[in-house]
Amino acid sequence: MKNKPIGIFDSGIGGTSIWKEVVKLVPNENTIYLADSKNAPYGEKSSEEIIALSIKNTELLISKGCKLIIIACNTATTNAIDYLRENYSVPFIGIEPAIKPAALLSKTGAIGILATKGTLSSKLFEKTTKEYSKIITTIEQDGEGLVPLIEEGKLNSPELTELLSTYLKPMLNFNIDHLVLGCTHYPYLIPQIKKIIGDNVTIIDSGEAVARQTKAILEKLDLLSTDLSKGNHLFYINAETKVLKEILSDVSVEFKVQKLDF
Ligand code: DGL
């Protein structure tokens, strides 16, 4: 079991921001990544639909023998992780907007959260924001339209910059000092985001924290790979492979990308 792969899934290519951190921290683990780009964006779907897609991805990863599954998608985590944990015995690691660190670090008492509609409307998100509502004000913004542009590889398009400005500039009027990126696609927008929000707002994304949590759980469950060579990495995508390959062009480890209908 120890040398079986870690499974990772996302609505598309965004979860690679998590995968990159995981591979840095546990380089000898094998991984299988599912990019469900055909069904992106999840954030505009109902909770029931997001759960159904998460089940489909989970069952495929289990059929490939995965020892642990990382839900590298805030929208899928906040809507489906409870269901998945109740119904499958494989351990799950999820990702949700990092409200806690932002709340504890904030000096102005106001933080911005950019996430999908599916995340912002989830029960889990509501529960977490409620918990911190005594110490901070959260300015929430639905990033509608951003995920499809990222999936199309239009990271530097004027269209995307304009959308980001519309979403982020109003937050500055609330004197936010932290911006939580509540979607795993958004770390790819950090250079553009910085140009809009300036140096006084700290960007928080949870990629590294998810990688640390993955390592801790593998240790706790005695599931760390015993193979000392570099891991094998396989990406399955149910749409064109071009943008995924572009987004992975900065990694130094070897990987394979394969188109698969799932
Ligand atoms: N990467 C997903 C997330 O973290 C994007 C969701 C979507 O497809 O809308 O929320």
Residues 183-208: tens digit of each pLDDT? 999 999 999 999 999 999 999 999 99
Q: Considering only CA atoms, which residue is closest to atom 2 of ligand 1?
A: 73
Q: How far is the CA of 130 from the centre of ligand 1 (A)?
A: 22
Mean pLDDT of 210-239: 97
Pocket of ligand 1 (CB under 6 A): 10-11, 14-15, 40-43, 73-75, 116, 119, 147, 183-185
Go through the domains of the chain in sequence order and give each one's CATH number.
6-95+208-259 (3.40.50.1860), 99-204 (3.40.50.1860)
Which DSSP state fits 155?
Answer: T
Q: How far is the CA of 182 from the centre of ligand 1 (A)?
A: 8
* Cα separation, 195 vs 3, whole angstroms: 43
Parallel, antiparallel or unpaired: strands 31-35 and 68-71: unpaired
The preferred substitution site among 54, 151, 184 for testing ligand 1, maximizing ligand atoms within 8 Å of CB, is 184
CA–centroid distance, 140 to ligand 1, in Å, is 16
Task: Report how far residue 186's alpha carbon sits from residue 60's, in angstroms, rounded to the nearest whole number.
Answer: 26
pLDDT of residue 68: 98
Q: What is the pTM of this model?
A: 0.97
Name the residue of 18, 51, 116, 119 to mutate for ligand 1: max ligand atoms within 8 A of Cβ: 116
The structure tokens 């985001």 sit at 193
Rounded Cα distance between 40 and 45, Å, is: 9
143: amino acid identity, one letter: G
SS3 37: helix
User: How many angstroms separate the CA atoms of 144 and 155, rounded?
Assistant: 15
The residues annotated with a catalytic role in the active site are 73, 183
> Per-residue pLDDT tens for 68-127?
999 999 999 999 999 999 999 999 999 999 999 999 999 999 999 999 999 999 999 999
* φ, ψ dihedrals at 36, nearest 5°: -85, 50
Q: How far is the CA of 104 from the centre of ligand 1 (A)?
A: 25
pLDDT at residue 174, as a whole number? 96
Atom number, ligand 1, closest to the C-alpha of residue 15: 1
